[in-house]
Structure 1
Amino acid sequence: MTSSYLVLTAPGGTDVTHEKTRVIRDGFTLLGFLFPWLWLLLHRLWLYAIAAFLLQGLGGVLMDRPGLWPAGFAITLGTCILAGFEGQNLRIRNLASKGWNEEAVITADSLATAEEIYFSNIETDGDRMPAPEWERHPHSAGRHGNTTSLGLFGFNGGR
């Protein structure tokens, strides 16, 4: 089942390692449906979390009153449905209001596939990429052949 994923980059631009780049699935979130105000708190959507908490509290109070159970249930279920279907959109809009840029929209089967598609299309500048450290450590120079393979046999054939 394919989904759309939005790629958001940080306000100051992307860093070399792209650690701040976020890939967010655009669609229904089950945890947002089951635990709306907790899910909203987890994603730092403070005002929406407070509103969801108050609406669910109001729904709970109304369900305890005789004759108002359907109204309370409708308010509680409506809050869950709204958070489940619009929670990811609220996250994206919140980040966009803080200056995050929508870089791309990717259609993929999973988050890992979407990340792989996005990062495979990025051209890297050879000067900007950090170079690995290839220095030799002096303490490991005289230890060739002394390590074992899975603790069974050494590289030189001994046990």
Structure 2
Amino acid sequence: MASYLILTPPGAPSRSAVSDRYRDETRFIRDGFSWKAFVFPALWMLYHRLWLHAAAAILLQGLAVELIRQPGFFAAGAAILLAVHVLAALEGRHALSQRLIDRGWTMENLVSAHDLATAEQIHFSEVEQEPQQNIHSQNWDITATNTNTSRPGQSFGLPGYDGGR
């Protein structure tokens, strides 16, 4: 099951007044591994307007390719290249959500669901729960319910200890 971070833009209507505008502007960002970011890290970051992250990924990938070309540095270059791809796949969506939050978006909710449609249904559902009846007893007379005759007082249903063996 995946987690979806739900963000609303600044100035969006409140969740209580769910409208078409609220539904259209709400962003659902899946928390987890992104195959697109793994295969194409720099392009994925450019598409999502993560400019500095994309520039760093391009520079690190260029450095990794140069290290791969040098004799004796193949393992180091391959490790850097793999690290850039894995880091983009694991942390790219977090960087995207953080960029939106820094721009004034509000984190509305975090929903666990199997897919995006289910997450949207859970978030936008307006199921009103009826208030529960008062489940607490109104009459808590402890002396009336205490049936322990060996030791008077509160015993909470536990056997009393009167000091003897």
Classify the TM-score, shorter chain: 0.7 to 0.9
Partner-residue secondary structure (3-state), 2:25: coil
Aligned counterparts of 2:7 and 2:30: Cα–Cα separation in 1: 11
- Count, aligned residues: 122
Superposed, 1:10-159 pairs within 5 Å as 10-14=9-13, 16-17=19-20, 18=22, 19-121=24-126
For structure 2, the residue ranges without an aligned partner over 5 or more in a row are 129-165
- Please provide the CA RMSD for this pair: 1.5
Aligned counterparts of 1:14 and 1:101: Cα–Cα separation in 2: 11
Partner-residue secondary structure (3-state), 1:67: coil
For structure 1, the residue ranges without an aligned partner over 5 or more in a row are 124-159
Aligned counterparts of 2:32 and 2:127: Cα–Cα separation in 1: 25
Q: Does structure 2 conserve the Cα–Cα contact (< 8 Å) formed by 1:14 and 1:20?
A: no
Q: Alpha-carbon deviation of 1:119?
A: 1.0
TM-score by length of 1: 0.73
Q: Alpha-carbon deviation of 1:122?
A: 7.9
Give % identity: 48
| AA aligned opposite 2:116 | L
| AA aligned opposite 2:49 | R
Measured at CA, do residues 122 and 96 of structure 1 come closer, stay the same or move farther in structure 2, by a change above 3 Å? farther
Higher Cα Rg, which structure: 2
Measured at CA, do residues 69 and 94 of structure 1 come closer, stay the same or move farther in structure 2, by a change above 3 Å? same
Measured at CA, do residues 122 and 88 of structure 1 come closer, stay the same or move farther in structure 2, by a change above 3 Å? farther
TM-score by length of 2: 0.71
Aligned counterparts of 2:63 and 2:75: Cα–Cα separation in 1: 13
Q: Does structure 2 conserve the Cα–Cα contact (< 8 Å) formed by 1:14 and 1:21?
A: no
Partner-residue secondary structure (3-state), 1:102: strand
| AA aligned opposite 1:93 | Q
